[in-house]
Amino acid sequence: MNIDDILAARARIDGHVIRTPCEISETLSLLLGCTLYIKFENQQFTASFKERGALNCLLALDESVRKRGVIAMSAGNHAQALAYHGTRLGVPTTIVMPRSTPNAKVEQTRVHGAQVILEGAQFEATRQFTHALATERGLHLVHPFDDPLVMAGQGTVGLEISEQVPDADLVLVPVGGGGLISGVATALEARLPACAVYGVQVQRFDGAARRLHGEDVRASRFGTVAEGIAVKSPGEQTMPIIHRLVKDIFTVDEDAVEQAIFTLLEIEKTVAEGAGAVPLAALRANRERFAGKKVVMILSGGNIDMMILSSVLQRGLVRSRRLVRLKVEIPDVPGALGELTNRIGALDSNIVDIVHQRAFGPSSVRATIVELVLQMRGEEQVDQVLASLAEAGYEASLIV
């Protein structure tokens, strides 16, 4: 896979996928001490960059192969991209997903016209079944990342970056199996050779980073909010390109990814899935390394489960002290609770939830503990509320 393959891919998919914007974030640039551009791949029709590689592969197949159909193993963005473009081009598409795949993802893939088969409790069982079914039915297997045509399609992201930010110092790319970073790095080596390419993975699935540094690959038995890059080991075809062209691969923890999702929604008003937010998490954790640089981060996708997004937002409000829990001891007499809530209301704090425990609290029989969840403006208001309650004689403390 080389620059000619990527140029050919762009010619094939031109007009069928979006040339996504790559725009400067003034606010994040100020906060991070660099000039930050965001490549918004979440604006593709199926909300991820995966359309580029899937479509390039479909269009490059000869007619007889396309008539028989294609098959893929995927529980996420690759499935939706292949299903959408396969149906649009009249190519029969079969997607095999693990049985544990959330129903919302199954239905999102089916709605694009693919036959969806649920098979295997784990990815390895799903992979084996998919290969066997491809052989049995004579279907062409479209691998989510370890395929030169898929890699070349993803490389068109790099071509666009070289034209949109021709003086970029570096590009941060999410890494799972390595298809996106392989294509992007190949494109930038040819078109923007002075631009360094860095990858980003989550600590729980850091196979590419470990391989890059000559370490044994291991994957966590726990899940990750960045499920789109939860790949145990990178591809056999992608890893040599990563070794040759990628400067380094950063790893970030789960909290950092959650905060990055929250920040992108709050500041940029854009929804990022965990995999799409990891470049921002890496930027925050390595500010001194990127200070004063012109940085492009690839926001690779925006397909995040609504329950996960809801949880991330709630936890983000807690981290920023806009949602806090207080424990306050009050006398167990009529009117005491009303007096406390009136005082809190007078401090412009909104009570979201309140629990009034008598029997289970540690207080004496003549007192009780009240737990409150309060909506705040931030750290400064929390301090004001605690100080005011203390001045009024209450014993109040934060519940962490």
Q: Are residues 198 and 292 in the same domain?
A: yes
Q: How many CB atoms lie within 10 A of CB 353?
A: 11
Q: In this structure, are 179 and 257 located in the same domain?
A: yes
Under 8 Å between Cβ of 60 and 94: no
CA atoms of 150 and 343, how far apart (whole Å): 61
| Nearest Cα residue to 172 out of 201, 143, 147 | 201
7-18 CB burial, b ≥16 within 10 A, e <16: bbbbebbeebbe
Phi and psi torsions of 232, nearest 5°:
-65, -45
Q: Residue 336 belongs to a domain with what CATH number? A: 3.30.70.260
- The last residue of one of the domains, among 316, 337, 359, is 316
230 and 216: one domain?
A: yes
Return the CATH number at 306: 3.40.50.1100
Nearest alpha-carbon partner for 253 in 224, 217, 219, 221? 224
Are 101 and 243 members of one domain?
no
Tell me which of 90, 109, 141 is where a domain ends.
141
Catalytic residue at 310? Answer: no
Query: Which residues constitute the domain of residue 107?
Result: 51-141
| Model confidence, pTM | 0.92
125 and 158 fall within a common domain: no
One domain for residues 156 and 11? yes
Dihedrals phi, psi of 47, to nearest 5 degrees: 70, 30
169/209 same-domain check: yes
- Do 152 and 133 lie in one domain? The reply is no
pLDDT of residue 360: 60
Question: Do residues 47 and 4 touch, judged by C-beta distance below 8 A?
Answer: no
pLDDT per residue as tens, the chain (400 positions): 999 999 999 999 999 999 999 999 999 999 999 999 999 999 999 999 999 999 999 999 999 999 999 999 987 899 999 999 999 999 999 999 888 777 777 888 999 999 999 998 777 788 899 999 999 999 999 999 999 999 999 999 999 999 999 999 999 999 999 999 999 999 999 999 999 999 999 999 999 999 999 999 887 778 899 989 998 899 999 999 999 999 999 999 999 999 999 999 999 999 999 999 999 999 999 999 999 999 999 999 999 989 999 999 999 999 999 999 999 999 988 899 999 999 999 988 899 999 986 656 555 667 888 999 999 888 888 989 999 999 999 989 999 8
Residue 156 contacts residue 281 (beta carbons within 8 Å): no
Measured distance CA(91)–CA(67) in Å, rounded = 6
Q: Are 70 and 104 in a shared domain?
A: yes
Average pLDDT, the chain: 93
Specify whether 160 is located in the same domain as 135.
no
Cβ–Cβ under 8 Å, residues 69 and 91: yes
Query: Does 111 share its domain with 195?
Result: no
Catalytic residue among 50, 105, 182, 349: 50
Instruction: Tell me how far CA of residue 160 lies from CA of 10, 18, 155, in angstroms.
Output: 10, 11, 9
Boundary residue ending a domain (141, 159, 189): 141
Contacts of 400 (CB under 8 A, 6+ apart): none
Domains held by the chain: number:
3
**Cβ atoms of 135 and 155 closer than 8 Å:** no
Which residue type sits at 49?
Answer: F
154 and 278, same domain (yes or no): yes
**Which residue in 48, 74, 162, 300 is the catalytic one?**
300
Q: Can 269 be counted among the known catalytic residues? A: no
